[in-house]
Amino acid sequence: MPHSTYLPEKMGTAIIDPEGRFEAGSFQSFTLTYTAGYFGIDDTGSIKIVNRFASDMGRPQFDDPKAANYVTVEASNGAVLQVEYDMKRNIRPWDKTLYIKVVRGFLREGDRIVVKFGDRIGGSPGMRVQTFCEDTFEFRVLVDAIATYNYVELPVQPEIKIVPGKPELWKAILPTMRRAGEPFRLSLKGEDRWGNPSDQCDQTLILRASQPVQGLPESISFTPGQYAVVVEGLSVQEACDLTIAILLDGEMVAASNPLRIQATAGLLPYWGDLHGQSEETIGTNSARDFFNFGRDCAFLDAVVHQGNDFQITTEFWEHLNELSREFTEDHRFITFPGYEWSGNTGLGGDRNILYLQEGQPIHRSSHALVNDLSDVETDATDAREMFDKLKGRDCVVFAHIGGRYADIDYSHDERLEVGVEVHSAWGSFEWLVEDAFKKGYRVGILSNSDGHKGRPGASHPGATKFGSYGGLTCMLATELTRAGLADSLRKRHHYGTTGCRMLLEVNARFDNAAELFDADPHLGPTVSQPVNDAMMGDILRCDDTELTLLIDAHSSAAIERIDIRNGLETLETLRPYQPDDLGRRIRVTWEGSEYRGRGRETSWDGNAKLQGNSFEQARPINRYNLDKRFDQPTPELLEWTSITTGGHAGFEALLVDPTAGTLSIDTELVKADIPVADIGFEEIVFDAGGLGRKLRVYRLPDENPHKAVSIERKIALVDDRDNALYVRITQEDGHVIWSSPIYVFR
């Protein structure tokens, strides 16, 4: 136990009213009553009411009775109380703290402290409940009865259940490639406004396939209590690209991601979220719930639990190994036993470790929250020591950025650390792969969630400091087994997305045979073979001065741009439309972060005004936090609140007149007046300092039908370094996709 265990039964009781079930993200009013126990609370003693780090319940405020999240606190005996709220005033994960100190007087047994969360006495709408579901959301109460600042947790804690709302968004998910005649499934769910799978679906959905599908019913009916419906045993006999539209009351409410049917295929794509946490560390809901959600509600092929190592007890490590063994089912669903090595930034920063089998040791970065020190000698407190202790282990490591960031300049083992995570719910971090290029490392690109809200594979950021929707990694593998996926990761045969499921192939073609290495020749002698074609992740040597890069992308959303890159250099930006296609639609986007560390959030609160023109309609881009405003108070004015943590957000608008007037943008970082007639095919870019902070303004066609592109480009090869050839694709819906590089040297 992290707190004192002295006589908890004599420290009082706490109850919450009302109890029961409450909709995620709704406004409610709760009264928590603490009744003092035998010791009472002495003068300068205190209580804490704490919530988990992951919770995004409304932040308590004490000054405005009309505003949301208004909280009042009083003592039944008239004692004077000091009340404060601090995001980090208790031991993690219970660090969000309402601190109530007795500063004049004291409490005897039976005296009460009454806390009204969301007190509506002055017109407040109430307290905004956290935006994600939890069976046992606790208002955990700790008591310092003797005024020593040594707290005791009450033996029984007040709790409520947070449940999903009604479905507002429908999702249809297919695999992205199968061989002709092979069975596949269609998975369907409805999500509430905060991204929780809803159990209140009571609709019949009509299914319309773009190609004939054997076994596909004409409709699917949901009944209350169901979170998802999965249609198994579907097949297509001929090669094609397939999508399935979902109709409700005659209107299309969703379209599946594309599924490619091929006559033959050596590798198939499998989708995973290789990084997330549960309530046993700093997340939400149990580790068993974590795996169940990834398999049954996010419809993933692979999920990995990656708890902070300094919070994983020996008992929990053993439990995680039991769960990974239980949930792994070859050719159906794969997990790996693993953990997040969470070293301090100055000692190397965060890494993720995936073992290929159970029963392997955990080498913690510290025992900061593990009280049992009997195995402290097994710790690896420095990243270099961690890599040293993992030598010879059958494992895969990738670099991660969360609160801490991986410093791959400080430490990197090319045999083990085969990838870098450029996106998670924390944000997008392309600078991490750029760090690798500068050092000459050959790594693949992954995206995962590091989700803390119990939704691996569908990790909405909610309303806290997480700035992005959680990512996914698509692994191109010979089979859905641990060995197959590990081989994909080690060979960098994978790509990352910010949560979408794009079908992506990036290949290289050589005029003369190139030498394809089975393993990175940096690591020593390896076998090789002559080839004329290569795929993402391959490492090759060639004599040609150029190659042909082939890009084939197919998505469920319109493709906005494709950036072709060679290491740190962007060679070309391609758009699937031409300047003559542009219309009245413009986009304004902002991106980047303050710096690499925890305080990376950048505020872009501001407005856009039109003079001599007006906005016919407008919508935000990547606005997952519904607490962030996006309003149009007049036809000429847009107002918003927004943050970025490395990724991008913004808005698009349809102008009444395509060329008239001036667009004025006003944010703290960028202020600009732009003639509307100057907004065109090429972006107008404003640099805002920090780490990749920019604001961009550009024009789009009124309709962009391009959801699939096939591109060939001749790429000149440089001599003095690796040619790390990869693509970054941006979709109009805000999602981004990164291929792993093809590494070619001459």
**Is the pLDDT score of 467 beyond 90?**
no
Query: For 422, left (φ over 0), alpha (ψ -120 to 50), or beta?
Result: alpha
Please work out, in degrees rounded to the nearest 5, the angle formed at the alpha carbon of residue 121 by the alpha carbons of 116 and 123: 115
Task: Tell me: do 155 and 23 sit in the same domain.
Answer: yes
Q: How far apart are the first and last CA of the chain?
A: 59
CA distance 566 to 492: 16
Task: Tell me: do 220 and 298 sit in the same domain.
Answer: no
pLDDT one-digit tens code per residue, 119-140:
999 999 999 999 999 999 999 9
CA distance 401 to 396: 17
The predicted model gives 219-224 an average pLDDT of 96
Domain tally for the chain?
A: 5
In this prediction, residue 466 carries a pLDDT of 82
Q: Is residue 377 part of a domain?
A: yes
Closest to 196 (Cα-Cα) out of 164, 160, 229 = 164
Task: Tell me: do 333 and 412 sit in the same domain.
Answer: yes
Closest to 167 (Cα-Cα) out of 244, 249, 224, 247 = 224
pLDDT one-digit tens code per residue, 412-427:
999 999 999 999 999 9
Cβ–Cβ under 8 Å, residues 198 and 60: no
Neighbours of 442 (CB within 10 A): 21
Q: How far is CA 661 from CA 505, 611, 679, in A?
A: 43, 5, 11
Contacts of 123 (CB under 8 A, 6+ apart): 65, 66
Q: Is residue 175 part of a domain?
A: yes
Cβ–Cβ under 8 Å, residues 736 and 647: yes
Could you identify the residue written with the tokens 């962030």? 628
In this prediction, residue 598 carries a pLDDT of 86
Give the domain-ending residue among 484, 499, 514. Answer: 499
In this prediction, residue 403 carries a pLDDT of 85
Q: Is residue 3 part of a domain?
A: no
Task: Tell me: do 223 and 275 sit in the same domain.
Answer: no
**Is the pLDDT score of 190 beyond 90?**
yes
Task: Tell me: do 355 and 398 sit in the same domain.
Answer: yes
Closest to 474 (Cα-Cα) out of 442, 454, 511, 499 = 499
**Is the pLDDT score of 655 beyond 90?**
yes
Torsion angle defined by CA atoms of residues 32, 37, 42 and 47, in that order, rounded to the nearest 10 degrees: -30
Residue 191 — φ and ψ, nearest 5°? -110, 145
Length of the chain: 746
Contacts of 525 (CB under 8 A, 6+ apart): none
Six token digits for residue 511 = 């005029």
Q: Name the amino acid, one letter, at 563.
A: D
pLDDT one-digit tens code per residue, 316-344:
999 999 999 999 999 999 999 999 999 99
Indicate the pairing of strand 80-86 with strand 140-144.
Answer: unpaired
CA distance 673 to 665: 6
Q: What is the DSSP letter of 493?
A: -
CATH of residue 400's domain is: 3.20.20.140
Task: Tell me: do 593 and 521 sit in the same domain.
Answer: no
Q: Is residue 89 part of a domain?
A: yes
Torsion angle defined by CA atoms of residues 696, 697, 698 and 701, in that order, rounded to the nearest 10 degrees: 110
CA distance 101 to 82: 5
Could you identify the residue written with the tokens 């000054």? 63
Residue 179 — φ and ψ, nearest 5°? -80, 155
Give the domain-ending residue among 163, 180, 211. Answer: 163
Instruction: Taking each helix axis as running N to C, give the angle between helix 314-327 and helix 287-296, from 0 to 180 degrees, rounded to the nearest 10.
Output: 20
pLDDT one-digit tens code per residue, 391-449:
999 999 999 998 899 999 999 999 999 999 999 999 999 999 999 999 999 999 999 99
Point out which residues pair with 434 in neighbouring strands.
none
In this prediction, residue 710 carries a pLDDT of 97
Q: Is residue 683 part of a domain?
A: yes
Six token digits for residue 307 = 């708890």
Give the count of alpha carbons within 13 A of 213, CB side only: 27
Give the count of alpha carbons within 13 A of 110, CB side only: 0
Could you identify the residue written with the tokens 């700035």? 467
pLDDT one-digit tens code per residue, 273-296:
999 999 999 999 999 999 999 999
Task: Tell me: do 119 and 221 sit in the same domain.
Answer: no
Q: Is residue 251 part of a domain?
A: yes
Q: What is the DSSP letter of 581?
A: G
CA dihedral for 442, 448, 451, 454, sign (positive or negative): negative
CA distance 106 to 75: 10
Task: Tell me: do 307 and 194 sit in the same domain.
Answer: no
Beta sheet of 662-667, edge-to-edge order: 630-634, 637-640, 606-611, 662-667, 671-675
Cβ–Cβ under 8 Å, residues 335 and 486: no
pLDDT one-digit tens code per residue, 4-59:
999 999 999 999 999 999 999 999 999 999 999 999 999 999 999 999 999 999 99
Point out which residues pair with 372 in neighbouring strands.
none
CA distance 479 to 331: 7
Q: Is residue 2 part of a domain?
A: no
Point out which residues pair with 354 in neighbouring strands.
338, 396
CA distance 42 to 38: 11
The predicted model gives 64-69 an average pLDDT of 98
Confidence grade of residue 2 (pLDDT, cut at 50, 70, 90): confident
Domain that residue 54 falls in: 8-163
Q: Give percent above pLDDT 90 in the chain.
A: 97
Please work out, in degrees rounded to the nearest 5, the angle formed at the alpha carbon of residue 720 by the alpha carbons of 718 and 724: 60
Neighbours of 702 (CB within 10 A): 11
Indicate the pairing of strand 244-248 with strand 204-209.
Answer: antiparallel
Six token digits for residue 248 = 């409700």
CA distance 317 to 73: 41
CA distance 130 to 674: 40
CATH of residue 535's domain is: 2.60.40.10
CATH of residue 56's domain is: 2.60.40.680
In this prediction, residue 1 carries a pLDDT of 58
Six token digits for residue 176 = 């992205």
Q: Name the amino acid, one letter, at 673.
A: D
Confidence grade of residue 612 (pLDDT, cut at 50, 70, 90): very high
SS3 at position 307: coil
Cβ–Cβ under 8 Å, residues 65 and 124: yes
Task: Tell me: do 584 and 555 sit in the same domain.
Answer: no
Q: Is residue 1 part of a domain?
A: no
Give the domain-ending residue among 107, 135, 163. Answer: 163
Q: What is the DSSP letter of 196?
A: P
The predicted model gives 364-390 an average pLDDT of 97
CA distance 55 to 375: 32
Task: Tell me: do 721 and 627 sit in the same domain.
Answer: no
CA distance 397 to 437: 18
Average pLDDT, the chain: 97
Six token digits for residue 585 = 């639609």
Residue 368: is it exposed, middle or buried by C-beta count within 10 angstroms (0-12/13-18/19+)? middle
Task: Tell me: do 494 and 599 sit in the same domain.
Answer: no
Closest to 486 (Cα-Cα) out of 383, 580, 396 = 396
CATH of residue 253's domain is: 2.60.40.1930
Task: Tell me: do 460 and 596 sit in the same domain.
Answer: no
Cβ–Cβ under 8 Å, residues 158 and 187: no
Q: Give percent above pLDDT 70 in the chain.
A: 100
The predicted model gives 679-683 an average pLDDT of 97
Map 338-375 to HEC letters: EEEEECCHHHCCEEEEEECCCCCCCCCCCCCCCCCCCC
